[in-house]
Amino acid sequence: MPPVITNDVYSQTRAGMLSPQVRHDPGYLYVPDSAGSTVTVISQRTHRTVRVIPTGYLSQHVVPSYDLRTLITNSSYADELVEIDPRTARRTRVISMPRPYNLYFTPDGKAAVVMIEQLNTIRFADARTFTTIKDLRYPGCLGPNHADFSGNGRFFVVTCEFSGELLKVSTLGRKVIGVLHLDPNPTARRAAPMTMGRSVPQDVRLSPDGRTFYVADMGTNELRLIDARTFRQRRTIGLPRMPHGLYPSRDGKDLYISDRGAGRVSVLDFATNHIVDTWTIPGGGSPDMGGVSADGRTLWLSGRYDGVVYGFDTRTGKLIAKIPVGGSPHGIAVWPQPGRYSLGHTGNMR
């Protein structure tokens, strides 16, 4: 795995730190339709649709490959991964894969990790051919879907959406080495009232210093802080309704949290673990998943239930774009992004 520099896992993802292989890729948003069979390509500069790429039905997330040369659409119902060339924004290869929901890559770049949510399976596959290496299933883990890797890359944490627990998985051993059952009831003060009746963990992201995994719990309306060394919960932070996606700022100081059910974005200060700002979508909305622009000035998120893409000015928190796309936009890839390599999802760069 490429070494961590200055004890900050995101130190090589600062504004403008584009790798040579992506420096000339056009600045586009790749918006998958989880209620359809397309990826809509939008210019970040003009906010206009460039083209619509046909993909398989139930396209969930668009994921940058480890080597940053390909974007991969997870078309779940179609049982396929659809590759897109980010230089031309055109579809290339189609790979057979049962019910792919999300996709990650091990920090050495050798294996892909496919979250086959519907079949409760974590599949290790060759990162280039996607030939199966091993299927991992753990009794009780229902709906594995989001993940992030430890600072040294030796393990990763997986959220089990439908059973309310976290798995700790050995990267090289390809086996479960820890399980954390999450309290089904909120413990944080000022958490929005529950509407789902249980813990529903979603996105997970490592802190810059590698000591803490942050987990967005859409069921208890909390941000859970998990100790990376002990794999135990340290504390919880109350949030507006249905927190979903987690995105570090380009300067590594803040964590943006999309509160899907509240039409808001909460901003957490990594140094203090306090919510320092809340951005509200005028008239409401459903901010879901996306990423931060290469220059760090815009947070792009899908409007899952409103058929739009939101753009927030990260300096002011103001909504500066609301682009109609129709359908049910889900895991947007903001491209290009700074970083040496991709660990997957919509752009977990290191």
Six-digit token string for 219: 């069921």
pLDDT of residue 311: 98
Are the C-beta atoms of residues 26 and 44 closer than 8 Å to each other?
Answer: no
Task: State how far the Cα of 302 lies from the Cα of 332, in Å rounded to an integer.
Answer: 6
| 3-class secondary-structure state, position 117 | helix
**How many Å separate Cα 136 from the centre of its chain?**
21
Please give the helix or strand (H or E) that residue 189 lies within, else none: none
* Separation of alpha carbons 144 and 165, rounded Å: 9
Across the beta sheet with 28-32, the strand order is 49-54, 38-43, 28-32, 333-335
Q: Can you give the pLDDT of all 350 residues of the chain as single tens digits? A: 999 999 999 999 999 999 999 999 999 999 999 999 999 999 999 999 999 999 999 999 999 999 999 999 999 999 999 999 999 999 999 999 999 999 999 999 999 999 999 999 999 999 999 999 999 999 999 999 999 999 999 999 999 999 999 999 999 999 999 999 999 999 998 999 999 999 999 999 999 999 999 999 999 999 999 999 999 999 999 999 999 999 999 999 999 999 999 999 999 999 999 999 999 999 999 999 999 999 999 999 999 999 999 999 999 999 999 999 999 999 999 999 999 999 999 999 99
Is the N-terminal amide bond of 336 cis, ω within 30° of 0?
A: yes
Q: Where do the domains of the chain lie? A: 28-335
Q: Which two tokens stand for residue 313?
A: 């000015």
Determine the Cα angle at 302 with ends 296 and 305, to 5°. 155
Q: How far is CA 226 from CA 53, 151, 166, 218, 258, in A?
A: 39, 14, 10, 16, 19
Cut 0.95: pTM above it: yes
CA distance 129 to 245: 29
Domain 28-335 has CATH 3.40.50.510: no
